[in-house]
Amino acid sequence: MTEYIEAVLFDMGGTLRSSVKKDEASKIETVRRIIELLGADAAPDEFAGLLTERSRAYMRWARATLVELNERELWTKWMLPDWPADRISEIAIQLNQLWREATGERIIFPETKEVLLELFRRGYRLGLVSNTVSSVEVPRALKELELTGCFETVILSCVVGMRKPGPDILLEATRRMNINPENCVYIGDRLNRDVEASRKAGFAGVIIMRNPATFAAHQAKYPELIADQYIDNLKELLNIFPVRQNKIVAPPLYQASLSTMWARRNFPRLSDFFEAAGRLGFSHIELNHQIDSSMLDGIDLSQYRFSSVHEPCPADIPTDELKQRDWLISSPNEDNRKRGVEAIRRSIDLAHQLGAPVIVVHCGMVSFDLRIEKEMRKLFDAGKMETDAYRERKQNLIKRRAALIGPRFEAVKKSLLELLEYAGQFRIRLGLENRYHYFDIPALDEMGELLTLAGPDRLGFIYDVGHAQTLDRLGFFPHDEWLRRYSARMFGIHLHDVKGVKDHYAPGLGEVDFDMVASYLPEGAYRTFELQPSNSPEHVKAGLKYLVEHGCVKAI
């Protein structure tokens, strides 16, 4: 069976985790919390009985129709239909999680992480397809296991609106993974859901985890439903699925790099992130300023291609500590400035070791006091940009920056000249990034002055889409002005989307005009996806496709 298997898809409950019923006292105590959240006047035991009855009625309906509702619909239509729908909609996810807490404790099997990770490292593509009324539990569990990045797709019935034993939910997973069902195996625990759904979907095989307390009765009830194999512990899968001899058929590779920003808490090891980046279609990696030497230890870095190193990397002295001590190249204190230069020199050494041609440079700050800007961002989120309070804070920031920039800007220029000389011996180029905060260096005009320090073969511009969009939204610098002035000096681009004034979303999830962006991007500038870890692998994959469609990224 395993010869042609490329992907292993998993159920959740009963397969990767168990569920243990709560005792009656614990259940009633949690129901009290539900009553408090509602502001209701009800006896907890009676209210628990009501919710139990309605939950069972919903499950009978869902099993009969093969339709799953999301939390909002479940609680407004079935669980609390006699309450105001708008009120229940607002707190539906909280209510749902409290009720699930009342009815049972869900515990990941101790071997789950080990087995999933080993299958990923053996070369199998992973997916998860589960009947569930919770949209948050599975993503939270994968995040806690640091395995989110290992799963190409996570399909939850309450999100997609369909359930097993219908095959459509499994076929949706194969569609998202762009894989044929006959190259997939499904691992579940229920004959009447998992075997039936897998057979109808045309999967190559189905493996059932036997629950010693219930399996015999279950098998007697559904004698016609027979799995290909049965296991009593997930570790048995490692005897069934050997290391894949043939590499995963990779998607088209793109002229794009993936920043290690996305690796945090999505993978247990950096090498797993490197593997996932290639599977997603990225040709290169950018090491960002959260990577320290210990994370790189033991990895054969010669196997991978690096577009760039974002200083300070290795971050053996964390970025926050460098800022707190003012060990930055913008420091007017000479000893501190030299420490900032030394941190970037270490990044240049690493880039030389890796064959990465560009260092992404942050040029420091004029002040570390961001309180006023944070107030402006809160006013923006509240829709109060046109108020006197907003305008006063903006003018205050402009005046303070002008008063403080002088000595710090001179320190930046001195530092860059020293770094250019050091990087030059390795033929490594320095790229100056436009930044997120108004007090960051350089501002729009300052970028032009700094770029005069060396020619375009040594010193250039790293264009960060989200940073430009954010400062435009706050009313400081027009987004496209960075591109109009400095696109000819562009070494690289940090690509991500923005919602309001919050950035690092996968492209396509926010409001950036990527058609405008694409019109300015030079052919030779590397493209880096710089995404916060909360973006799922599916977000990353869709974002890559989105930027291909909008002309920002090309296939190799």
pLDDT tens figures, 443-453: 999 999 999 99
State the DSSP code for 217. H
- Residue ranges of alpha helices (H) inside 308-464 are 319-324, 334-354, 371-381, 388-424, 444-451
Could you tell me the CA-to-CA distances from 355 to 291, 306, 350, 352 in Å, in that order? 17, 7, 8, 5
The reply to whether 499 falls in a domain is yes
Residue 118 sits in the same domain as residue 51: no
Taking the CA atoms of residue 507, residue 513, residue 518 and residue 520 in that order, the dihedral angle to the nearest 10 degrees is -130
Please state the φ and ψ torsions of residue 216, each to the nearest 5 degrees.
-60, -45
Q: Which residues of the chain have pLDDT under 50?
A: none
Q: Are residues 431 and 480 in the same domain?
A: yes
Flag whether 389 is in a domain.
Answer: no
Six-digit token string for 272: 């797993």
pLDDT of 404 reads: 97
pLDDT recorded at residue 521: 97
Residues 533 and 437 grouped into a single domain: yes
Q: State the amino acid at position 74 in one-letter form.
A: L
pLDDT of residue 550: 97
C-alpha torsion 395→399→404→407, nearest 10: 120
For residue 393, being part of any structural domain is answered with no
Q: What is the pLDDT of residue 21?
A: 87
Residue 149 and residue 31 share a domain = no
CB-CB contact of 144 with 112 (8 Å):
no
Residue 77 gets which letter from DSSP? Answer: I
Beta bridge partners of 555: 254
What is the predicted pLDDT for the residue at 54?
98
10 within domain boundaries: yes
What are the Cα distances from residue 243, in Å, to 68, 111, 246, 337, 394? 36, 19, 9, 50, 59
> In terms of domains, do 99 and 111 share one?
no
| Tally of CA atoms within 13 A in the half-sphere of 47 that contains its CB | 20
Query: Is 401 a domain residue?
Result: no
Q: What's the Cα-to-Cα distance from 141 to each of 9, 75, 148, 265, rounded to whole Å?
A: 16, 23, 9, 12
207-210-215-221 Cα dihedral, nearest 10 degrees: 0
CA separation for the pair 356, 214 (Å, rounded): 57
| 226 and 264 within one domain | no
Give alpha helix (H) positions in 425-536: 444-451, 465-473, 479-486, 514-518
Contacts of residue 483, defined as CB under 8 A and 6 or more positions apart, other chains included, come to: 463, 468, 516, 517, 520
In a domain? residue 137: yes
Q: Note whether 282 and 425 are same-domain residues.
A: yes
Same domain, 236 and 337: no
Do 356 and 419 fall within a single domain? yes
Q: Is there a domain that residue 372 lies in?
A: no
Q: Which of 240, 270, 297 is the last residue of a domain?
A: 240
Measured CA to CA, the distance from residue 499 to residue 515 in angstroms comes to 17
**H or E stretch at 10:** strand 7-10
Q: For 336-380, what is each residue's pLDDT tens digit?
A: 999 999 999 999 999 999 999 999 999 999 999 999 999 999 999
What CATH number is given to the structural domain containing 441? 3.20.20.150
Q: How far is CA 319 from the centre of its chain?
A: 21
Q: What pLDDT is recorded for position 327? A: 97
The contacts of residue 246 (CB under 8 Å, 6+ apart) are none
The structural domain count of the chain equals 3
192 close to 200: Cβ distance less than 8 angstroms: no
Instruction: Output the domain CATH number for residue 206.
Output: 3.40.50.1000
Tell me the pLDDT tens digit for each residue of 186-225: 999 999 999 999 999 999 999 999 988 888 888 889 989 9
Supply 351's token pair: 């880039």
Of 240, 270, 286, at which residue does a domain stop? 240
264 in any annotated domain:
yes
Encoding tokens for residue 75? 């609680």
41 and 129 in a single domain? The answer is no
- Residue 27's domain spans which residues? 22-103
Can you give the pLDDT at residue 1? 62
In this structure, the number of other CB atoms found within 10 A of the CB of residue 306 comes to: 20
Same domain for 191 and 138:
yes
The answer to whether residues 500 and 525 belong to one domain is: yes
* DSSP3 helix / strand / coil % (the chain, rounded to 5): 50, 15, 35
Residue 447 CA to residue 457 CA, distance in Å, equals 16
Planar angle of CA 364, 365, 367, nearest 5 degrees: 150
From residue 507, alpha-carbon distances to 260, 281, 482, 511, 549 in Å are 17, 15, 19, 9, 11
Whole-angstrom distance, CA of residue 361 vs CA of residue 309: 9
| Domain-terminating residue out of 240, 264, 295 | 240
Which helix (DSSP H) or strand (DSSP E) does residue 59 occupy?
A: helix 44-65
